Amino acid sequence: MALITVSGEPGCRPEEVARLTAQRLGFELITDSRLRGMIAEEFGPDAILPDRAWPHLLASIVARLAREMHLVVATTGAEFLSQQFPHSLRVRITAPESRRLGTLMVDRRLDRPAAKQLLASLDADVRQERKRRFGRMTARGDEFDMVLNSSTLDTEKIASIIESAVASTGIVEMGLLSPAAEMQLQFQVRLQLAKHGIAPPGKVQLKGVAFGHPSEEIFANLLDFYRITWDYEPRSFPIQWDKDGKALEYFTPDFYLPEFDLYLELTTMKQAHVTKKNRKVKLLRTIYPHVNIQVFYQKDFQNLIFKHGLAERALQAK
């Protein structure tokens, strides 16, 4: 899919440029206000979403739309989408302060002192927003494919230049995002959102569980994303007894998925922990051959999602 990202300094009319560009190209326009509405629709209007989750939320929404249309995205930091969507053109609009002041005076019907005060406030807001969402206040020139000066080019000319650049790069001919590519991208995005404790409303499992390790909570959030019912440590299995038949050792799998009749034990990166868990799993399988249990890595969860068609089901439920 072709993705055009347009951002710029306050007083440079980047959203107007984006709108004209979308009209010329026949692309779908995504603005800040539309993004906020789509995020509220998916996660609820009262959802508390940390600023550092914004890039992942943006990528998730763009991936969903990119299966059906080419896009122009006009929002601060949209240029970072090129990491997930390589067929993109990143545009930044800039101008001297005097030009930006004049634009605000015309657009907002302000005198010069009021426009100067407003511009300083808008610039500060953009810097702080970038800092909260992306970790730094300013954009670098090498993060853009085109930097255009609105003091010498009006919005019509800028849109015309972008249109020509799109034609010369051939990104439209690359086609739309495939369903398989979206599912893969959504899985990675949802994993990142799960680390922030974010899942859509209407989750299968209510929270309030005291997890033993942060990775378990992340995994539970990811299960919630795909509407997979789960129980946390629902049963302990005796696996060692003394000579009198008293249980000496128990094994409590981390999760049980009723939909699959499957117990899951999550792993860590430390081999010593993996070896210990594998020993317990081997004992459990020997003693309880009817119990379905699996030692689970992240890649195993991804296989589960795609093997059983849950990713496609989740996409169709949007």
Judgement on whether residues 127 and 246 belong to the same structural domain of the protein: no
What is residue 27's DSSP assignment?
P
pTM more than 0.85: no
In a domain, 192, yes or no: no
The backbone torsions φ and ψ at residue 73, rounded to the nearest 5 degrees and listed phi first, read: -115, 120
CATH of the domain at 133: 3.40.50.300
Q: Is the pLDDT of residue 266 over 70?
A: yes
CA dist., res. 166 & res. 151, Å (int): 23
Pick the range with the lowest mean pLDDT from 116-120, 160-164, 257-261: 257-261
Structural domain boundaries enclosing 87: 3-178
Q: For residue 176, count CB atoms less than 10 angstroms from its CB and return exposed for 0-12, middle for 13-18, buried for 19 or more.
A: middle
Pick the range with the lowest mean pLDDT from 88-102, 126-140, 286-300: 286-300
- For the chain, the average pLDDT equals 86
Contact assessment for residue 192 and residue 56, using Cβ atoms and an 8 Å cutoff:
yes
CATH of the domain at 223: 3.40.960
In a domain, 28, yes or no: yes
Which token pair is 89?
């053109």
In a domain, 183, yes or no: no
Put residue 313 in one of left, alpha, beta given phi > 0 → left and psi -120 to 50 → alpha. Answer: alpha
Q: Is 51 helix (H, G, I), strand (E, B) or coil?
A: helix
Judgement on whether residues 232 and 276 belong to the same structural domain of the protein: yes
pLDDT for residue 222: 78
Judgement on whether residues 215 and 245 belong to the same structural domain of the protein: yes
pLDDT for residue 317: 47
Q: What is the pLDDT of residues 6-38, one digit of tens each?
A: 999 999 999 999 999 999 999 999 999 999 898
Q: For residue 216, count CB atoms less than 10 angstroms from its CB and return exposed for 0-12, middle for 13-18, buried for 19 or more.
A: middle
Judgement on whether residues 245 and 174 belong to the same structural domain of the protein: no
Q: What is the pLDDT of residues 137-151, one digit of tens each?
A: 998 889 999 999 999
Q: What is the mean pLDDT of residues 147-176?
A: 95
Q: Domain boundary at 178, 207, 228, which?
A: 178
Q: Of 81, 156, 92, nearest to 126 (Cα)?
A: 92
Q: Which residue has the tokens 């009262």?
A: 46
Judgement on whether residues 293 and 250 belong to the same structural domain of the protein: yes
Instruction: Report the chain's terminal Cα–Cα distance, integer Å.
Output: 20
Which token pair is 40?
């509220």
- Exposure letters 74-105 (e unless 16+ CB within 10 A, then b): bbbbbbbbbebbebbbbbbbbbeeebbbbbbb
Judgement on whether residues 21 and 169 belong to the same structural domain of the protein: yes
CA dist., res. 69 & res. 134, Å (int): 27
In a domain, 225, yes or no: yes
Residue with the bigger pLDDT between 209 and 50: it is 50
Q: Is the pLDDT of residue 304 over 90?
A: no
Proportion of the chain above pLDDT 70, given as a percent = 88
What are the strands, taking DSSP E only, across 75-218?
88-94, 146-149
pLDDT for residue 272: 57
pLDDT for residue 318: 47
Q: Domain boundary at 178, 211, 245, which?
A: 178
Judgement on whether residues 172 and 210 belong to the same structural domain of the protein: no
pLDDT for residue 46: 75
Q: Is the pLDDT of residue 271 over 80?
A: no
In a domain, 250, yes or no: yes
In a domain, 119, yes or no: yes
Which token pair is 233?
């440590």
pLDDT for residue 19: 97
Query: Which one-letter amino acid corresponds to residue 27?
Result: F
Proportion of the chain above pLDDT 90, given as a percent = 53
Which token pair is 190?
């949802």
Judgement on whether residues 116 and 229 belong to the same structural domain of the protein: no
Q: Which residue has the tokens 């979308």?
A: 22
Task: Say how many domains are in the chain.
Answer: 2
Q: For residue 194, count CB atoms less than 10 angstroms from its CB and return exposed for 0-12, middle for 13-18, buried for 19 or more.
A: buried
Judgement on whether residues 166 and 247 belong to the same structural domain of the protein: no
The model's confidence at residue 301, banded by pLDDT at 50, 70 and 90, is low
In a domain, 49, yes or no: yes
DSSP H or E run through 74: strand 71-74
Judgement on whether residues 105 and 253 belong to the same structural domain of the protein: no
CA dist., res. 108 & res. 98, Å (int): 15
Q: Is 122 helix (H, G, I), strand (E, B) or coil?
A: helix
pLDDT for residue 309: 55
pLDDT for residue 268: 61
Q: Domain boundary at 178, 211, 244, which?
A: 178
Judgement on whether residues 215 and 131 belong to the same structural domain of the protein: no
Pick the range with the lowest mean pLDDT from 52-56, 105-109, 204-208, 297-301: 204-208
Judgement on whether residues 154 and 33 belong to the same structural domain of the protein: yes
Residue with the bigger pLDDT between 154 and 214: it is 154
46 CB contacts (<8 Å, ≥6 apart)? Answer: none
In a domain, 189, yes or no: no
The backbone torsions φ and ψ at residue 308, rounded to the nearest 5 degrees and listed phi first, read: -95, 10
Q: Is the pLDDT of residue 49 over 80?
A: yes
Greatest Cα pair distance, the chain, in angstroms, is 92
